[in-house]
């Protein structure tokens, strides 16, 4: 996670950003700290990267890269406003790998060559990496990921999904992983079908017939920009309809006030990058 020390809306690169609406940075910090403290209260380890001046979107650490089996790849951002974030996250990954944070055999792979906005568009679900495209991460990046991470050798398949609604410009705004199947053997996701092309909708329905289908109000409240530990689901407290759906499927939703952080176009998941250490 990255504290919102420099968070602000000073440019508009997604439909949620409005230069006419100021950010209360004190409230944003309180909301971020509440999220961090909630993770820690429930037993999750949280590591932080310091934000850098001039990079107001570093708070959205999910875009900061991808870590699978102790291998970390830094992103390459589409918009020039965020370009320098790639190197910033890369420096953190390099130090973390040297310090053994990613376990024995952990390594920093460098920065992506193709446009790739990290876990914003790349969600690992069991042995499948769901890869969004359409607005930020390029299709060419999907092949690069397969090669750089050696996904085929690791038994992980790539599934490309096309996003078509500019409000849901990253995959993690339209789809959330609820259970990766590691403990239960059953994978569960939730997603908003209309955010995807017809072909991608059909593929998701084929792969995940038991998925929770969100409606437009769920997605617009950033109810899918959530983090799940397999039981608890951390999400924006305004996503009340999504919470009802989660409870009906046996999950425990934990709502968090994210009003200031939402002004940049992100919520709980956008603030959270999962670090997956090497499997010994």
Active-site residues, by number, are 170, 270
* DSSP 8-class letter at 52: -
What DSSP designation does 76 have? B
Half-sphere exposure of 132 (CA within 13 A, CB side): 29
Check: CB of residue 241 under 8 Å from CB of residue 36: no
Strand partners, 162: 133
Q: How far apart are CA 138 and CA 159, in angstroms?
A: 13
Q: Which two tokens stand for residue 177?
A: 């992983």
Distances from the Cα of 195 to the Cαs of 5, 219, 233, 247, in angstroms?
32, 9, 21, 23
Q: Token match 């199947």: residue?
A: 181
Q: Which of 122, 137, 50 is nearest to 89 (CA)?
A: 50
* Total length of the chain: 280
**Of 39, 27, 30, 112, whose CA–CA distance to 77 is shortest?**
112
Please give the Cα distance from 54 to 131 (Å, whole number). 29
Closest Cα to residue 223, out of 263, 175, 260?
A: 175
For 260, the token pair is 């200031």
């Amino acid at each position: 996670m990255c504290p919102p020390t420099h968070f602000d809306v000073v440019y508009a690169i997604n439909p949620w950003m409005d230069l006419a609406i100021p950010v209360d940075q004190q409230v944003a910090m309180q909301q971020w700290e509440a999220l961090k403290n909630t993770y820690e209260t429930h037993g999750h380890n949280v590591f932080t990267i310091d934000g850098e001046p001039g990079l107001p979107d570093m708070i959205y650490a999910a875009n900061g890269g991808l870590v699978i089996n102790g291998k970390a790849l830094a992103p390459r951002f589409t918009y020039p406003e965020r370009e320098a974030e790639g190197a910033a996250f890369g420096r953190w990954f390099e130090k973390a790998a040297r310090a053994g944070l990613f376990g024995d055999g952990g390594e920093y792979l460098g920065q992506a060559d193709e446009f790739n906005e990290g876990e914003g568009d790349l969600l690992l679900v069991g042995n499948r990496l769901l890869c969004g495209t359409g607005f930020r991460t390029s299709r060419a990046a999907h092949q690069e990921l397969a090669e750089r991470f050696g996904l085929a050798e690791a038994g992980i398949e790539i599934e490309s999904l096309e996003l078509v609604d500019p409000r849901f410009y990253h995959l993690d705004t339209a789809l959330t992983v609820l259970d990766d199947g590691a403990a239960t053997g059953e994978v569960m996701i939730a997603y908003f079908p209309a955010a995807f092309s017809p072909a991608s909708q059909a593929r998701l329905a084929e792969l995940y017939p038991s998925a929770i289908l969100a409606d437009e109000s769920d997605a617009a409240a950033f109810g899918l920009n959530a983090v799940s530990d397999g039981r608890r689901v951390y999400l924006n407290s305004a996503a009340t309809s999504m919470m009802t759906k989660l409870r009906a499927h046996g999950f425990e939703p934990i709502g968090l006030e994210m009003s200031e952080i939402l002004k940049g176009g992100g919520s709980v998941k956008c603030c959270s990058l999962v670090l997956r250490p090497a499997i010994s």
